[in-house]
Amino acid sequence: MFSTRSLGAAVLVAALAACAAPIGGGGSAVPGADQPATRLRPIPIYSPTPTPAPPGLIGGIIGLVSSLTCGVTAGLTCHVLAGAGPQGLPAGTAASKLPGLHPADLQSAYGLASATAGAGQKIGIVVAYDDPDLEADLAVYRSTFGLPACTTANGCFKKVTGGGLLGALLGGNQGWGQESSLDVDVASAVCPKCKLVVVEAASDTPANLLAAAKTAVADGATVVTNSYSLAEYAGENDAAYQIGVPFVFGAGDSGPGAQWPASSSHVIAVGGTSLTRDGSPRGWSESVWAGSGGGCSAYVPKPAWQGNTGCSTRSANDVSAFADPNPGVAVYDSYLSSTPGWRTYGGTSVAAPIVAGAIALAGNGAQLSANASFVYAHAGALNAVGAGGYGPQAGNGSPNGAGGL
């Protein structure tokens, strides 16, 4: 027989041990040292409230563990960057009343032939922990904006849930739930005819998230999008991030500077931009969003296909897309929220699925499966961001229909 105190102490000791030890992985000189004991955070990185813990014994233990700064055990400190405008508008709110950019805005800004392309493509979305409301929330989003239904029943939507003791104990997480809704809504906005496979890792360790991406590929994903990052470190296993399809990563939301895994030479690193309607033929002007990550890698050598100056090492980013939280994009999310409903979100969590959706629409995944070299060879086909030309935060520019991707 055990007591609440003894069980809580045991969990605390285990969590402290996890913080002191490297997170699993391979490819470095020291076995198990591929990933550091660094807290991952979903992008975006801010949140008004923490995830509520369940009641009773387990809730008490989670409350104890969540006070640790490491957070490896439960991922309870992951957060979401809220956009401008009211939050928590009810499900029945008319599309015309919703703040933030809508599917038609994104399709217009990036010249995307979303109504006629994307059939046969499947976007893999990597998150952590289970969001049991995800399919229902997606249905609200798509019906509100007149997009065709995307459900398990019609074969458009699939969710694969990770297992393990940790996932079973902790179940869902508010920050990752918001991330999940944001990712599926934006992917839907850009490519309504694409199928979606959401793979929910049992926890947000780098090893589990990478395994989730490979699970998405095994399920037929033709492009995989990710919205997480951590600081670069000496044991980065660059080769591990070549998974056979385009591997898209948001660059982070803390301003200039390279983040991992966006700085891997085998991924498409995506920075963030701001969009403003104007009288140009495109109808929009686009500039670098100040919060976007991007810069010179501290460890990854410069690929032969990356000829831009300014970095002697791998320069992230490769491309960019809308990420500005003012006004952000409209998203419907109800999971673990005190004010469920319509919200606006920003950050490179928006930009990454925009680019993934554009790659799916282009149907050119084979050219981007190993790295972003195709983007650099066809940079002139992208939209210029700001003054144009290559920049670490904006990369070579943003999607312009199928051009450059």
Distance CA 170, CA 57 (A): 12
Give residue 87's pLDDT. Answer: 86
247: Cα separation from own chain's centroid: 11
Residue 103's domain is classified under what CATH number? 3.40.50.200
pLDDT of 228 = 87
Q: Is residue 159 part of a domain?
A: yes
| 36 confidence band (pLDDT: 50, 70, 90) | very low
* C-beta separation of 347 from 43 below 8 A: yes
Mean pLDDT (whole number) for 87-94: 94
CA distance 135 to 125: 13
Of the candidates 178, 191, 185, 226, the residue with the CA atom closest to the CA atom of residue 101: 185
Query: Two tokens at 113?
Result: 């032939």
Lowest mean pLDDT among 12-16, 245-249, 287-291, 375-379: 12-16
pLDDT band at 309 (very low <50, low <70, confident <90, very high): confident
Query: Residue 3: is its pLDDT beyond 80?
Result: no
> Would residue 401 count as lying in a domain?
no
Whether the full predicted model's pTM is greater than 0.85, yes or no, is no
Angstrom distance (rounded) from CA 117 to CA 93: 29
**CA 124 to CA 170: how far, in whole Å?**
24
pLDDT value at position 170? 54
Compute the Cα dihedral for 196, 202, 206, 211 and give only its sign. Answer: negative
Residue 58 in domain = no
Domain containing residue 147: 81-381
Quick check: is 391 in a domain? no
pLDDT given at position 229: 87
Predicted pLDDT at 166: 55
Residue 203 in tokens:
């926890």
- In angstroms, rounded to a whole number, what is the distance separating the alpha carbons of residues 396 and 379? 6
Cβ within 8 Å of residue 60, ≥6 positions away: 4, 8, 53
Query: Would you say residue 33 lies in a domain?
Result: no
**3 state DSSP class of 105:** helix
Which of the given ranges, 7-16, 111-120, 351-360, has the highest pLDDT on average? Answer: 351-360
Is residue 109 in some structural domain? yes
- For the chain, the domain total comes to 1
Higher pLDDT, 18 or 150: 150
- pLDDT band at 321; cut points 50, 70, 90: very high
C-alpha–C-alpha distance, residues 303 and 310, integer Å = 14
What is the structure's pLDDT at 8?
A: 35
Q: In whole angstroms, what is the distance from residue 255 CA to residue 206 CA? A: 22
pLDDT tens string 174-230: 788 889 999 999 999 999 999 999 999 888 888 888 999 999 999 999 999 998 888
pLDDT in tens, 386-399: 999 999 999 999 99
Average pLDDT over residues 331-343: 89
pLDDT value of position 26: 33
Residue pLDDT, tens place only, 46-88? 332 333 334 433 333 333 332 222 223 333 233 357 788 788 9
Average pLDDT of the residues in 106-124: 89
Mean pLDDT check: name the lowest of 50-64, 196-210, 253-267, 278-292. 50-64
Task: Give the total residue count for the chain.
Answer: 405
pLDDT at res. 115: 61
Is position 388 within any domain? no
Measured distance CA(296)–CA(35) in Å, rounded: 20
User: Is 24 within a domain?
Assistant: no
Round the average pLDDT of the chain to a whole number and report it: 81
Tokens at 111, concatenated: 């010249």
Instruction: Specify whether the CB–CB gap between 5 and 215 falls below 8 A.
Output: no
